[in-house]
Chain A
């Protein structure tokens, strides 16, 4: 019986990061990956594909990760999607934790792909009933 593999949305203005994250996650055969390079695009895709998890970079031009997160949580269609924040700045962590309560977890760049996948697994497992 074929279980539906989870869909992951990777949001980062770093195109090459998106490229490699997608490659590493998809080659494992465990995930289907979509990528967005701006906050606006992320919100559109989130509505369109309703991913099982969103990896969301904080530092992005124009609309940053926190703004995207707020928009996601404010929309009924996307409010339930677990979000893991990505940041290159240690300074952002307290803000994620105090974190307006919305994000499930965070990851500090740079990260190995096995750590990335472990975090995704944990988060998805927590979400599964």
Chain B
């Protein structure tokens, strides 16, 4: 029965031999010089039997077998491996999809072996044993070379199956080899990969790029995709390299970079996130090195200071701090002890020389290399207080006017008393002049009248001074002197209410840095509250006390205490809330304590209220000392 037979071998002589044997038996024979040629033949010729040499250029025999086995139309084709060394190698030809294996080491019995292989028998034909006596030397050499090549091929195969990258061999753009890693990336069986054109394995949109890679591989051997391609949900970098010496063969390396890309993306996202926070935050952010140089500035810092980021780089921090203190003295050294430094009223100097009040917070930036040298950088966060200051001063002023209104009733009374003296005095003066003027008596009258007039003036001036809106001005002042001044301003109120004032001042005197007008406002506010809390025969105690705290340093407690009705706990919780008030008169804004709290906060201090219903209230203002 005539069969269609394909013989693939790179030895012209061997092809001739096979052709002769098979033609003699009446079969139809086609030959191919290598695996690639064989593949081309197979596209139009469907053989019943294929004889395949193992060691061939371009596409080796085993690979060709694997390819053929994946082609449905060659399902019934019998594949016979013809090799010089297989018999000794325990070569498992079945693994590559071949049906038989015969040796070509010896010519004796070879024709029979071929004939048997073509036959329909399912059993293996007897392998021709190598005959050592015939043409021994030549055959030994061939035998050894083939042995070496097959061994090396198996070796390479193992390597290719173990590496994480997908490796593919392309011949004229057709996939002729793919390791399992490469195959798994394409989500189709090996058969769907082998024999296909390389670009066609990729999604439509990427094919042109892949084709270009292959085309460009000749010129730039190590070029790859710059961006990853998407293959079945995985991200893959594709590199195509020409194989030197084999003009039409390329190697394609496929790197699954999905995890890498995900990590990269997550990292980039985290960095972008952090960066967008830093960029969009309203606070000015400066990173300052241990030697007082600006190392980083965010946009808010650049805008506030009027410099570009570039100009701020390496800019001396001492030139940004508006005070006399250096960065080392004011920030760096204190930070070494505390780790965090808060300065609620610091000033930055802008490019134009303007001083910007900022609420300042500094922390050490700990990183391994700088920490080892004790030269940590400092993160300086500054909040521009100009707008807040403006609003706060408006509210504060409104509240002050309300207090002034409250005080003015008392003031009116206090003025009417000297006026009464003046009127009576002038009448007395008039009468005296009409009758018998006595110089001494007249001078005494004038003195008393002048005293009364001056007293009226003093009272009015005190009120007007208090009510006047004055720009923020910090100076060193004595807390006791300030308390005395505040008490003097509300003294008439005390007299109206019959309140007694007691003073318990600290023996040790100190100075605080404060805005006098603002601090006066706080104390008067506390005094007015105390007056309102107490009934007749109340006692208001104003006092100062010096304390030293490990954390806060030296500070002074300014207290205003009363023995009035006290504040119930549920009201005590809300006492600093703006507009919270239990009073109903029109002059009460409910802003007093909230404004006071704001002012004291700006001074770097705090207010504490302790109260018990029925026994009185203590308000304590804590202020840091100079």
Question: Which chain A residues have a beta carbon within 8 Å of chain B's beta carbons?
Answer: 14, 16-17, 19-21, 23-24, 27, 59, 61-62, 64, 88-89, 91, 109-114, 116
Contact = CB atoms under 8 A, between A and B. Distances in A.
A88 B408 CA distance: 13
A89 B420 CA distance: 12
Given A17-B424, A19-B448, A110 B416 contact: yes
A113 B421 contact: no
8 contacts: A20-B421, A20-B427, A20-B428, A88-B412, A88-B414, A89-B412, A109-B417, A113-B428
Interface residues of B, number: 25
B359 to A, nearest CB: 45
Contacts of B424: 17, 20-21, 24, 110-111, 113, 116
B420 A14 contact: yes
A116 to B, nearest CB: 8
Given A16-B425, A20-B425, A24-B427, A88 B495 contact: no
B408 to A, nearest CB: 12
A23 B496 CA distance: 27
A17 B417 contact: yes
Interface in B373-428: 409, 412-414, 416-417, 419-425, 427-428
In the A-B complex, the 7 residue pairs with the closest CB atoms: A20-B424, A88-B416, A110-B420, A109-B420, A113-B427, A110-B419, A110-B423
B203 to A, nearest CB: 91
Contacts, number: 72
B435 interface: yes
B498 interface: yes
Instruction: Specify the main secondary structure of chain B where it touches its partner.
Output: helix
B265 to A, nearest CB: 76
A85 B505 CA distance: 39
Interface of B: 409, 412-414, 416-417, 419-425, 427-428, 431-432, 435, 445, 448, 451-452, 495-496, 498
A64 B498 CA distance: 8
Nearest to B425: A20
Given A19-B448, A20-B448, A62-B498, A14 B428 contact: no
A17 B413 contact: no
A112 B429 CA distance: 12
A17 B424 CA distance: 7
Contact of A14 (B421, B427, B432): B421
A17 B431 contact: no
Contact of B421 (A17, A91, A114): A17
B413 A89 contact: yes
Best-buried of A24, A59, A111 by chain B (most CB within 10 Å): A59
Contact of A112 (B409, B423, B451, B496): B423
